[in-house]
Amino acid sequence: MEAKAIQTLSYLEHDEIQSHLSGVSYIIMATPAPEQFKETPIHFTLFLNTQVSLPKEIREAVFEKFLNENKIKNPNEVMSQIMPVGFSQGTHETHMPLLLVKQEDMRNIPHIPMFVIDFLADSDNFSEAKTNNLTGWSYIYES
């Protein structure tokens, strides 16, 4: 099966994002890291469904739990803060989260603030990103 490019057809509007995230605890995204990062071949983004800036102790506990549960090792270049996040609709099954870093994107793509943990690491649990150079994301719902 050949991998298809991720295609964005439209973006969710602000109220659609709010509705879409109802019941979502967090979203995990894994993409291939730039080639020069051999020890940390996967770029992870963890989108927590909160607009609250987490205290350092809670942030570290959440991060450690996430690393352990997903057998992730060598975390590096860790950034955690409230960031603007948009969602694209396309040919993929679920809406793709988009971490917006460019001012132009923030002006043009509807978004909401979310607490984001972004980092490079390694894990055998994410072979699609590591070996096949594919991007993927999963929604984790509140139980």
Write out pLDDT tens, residues 89-130. 988 889 999 999 999 999 999 999 999 999 999 999 998 998
The structure's pTM equals 0.91
DSSP class per residue in 86-135: EEEEESSSSPEEEE--SHHHHHHS--EEEEEEEEEEE-GGGHHHHTT---
Residue type, 134: L
Alpha-carbon span 62 to 53, nearest angstrom: 13
Write out pLDDT tens, residues 5-50. 677 789 999 999 999 999 999 999 999 998 888 889 999 999 999 9
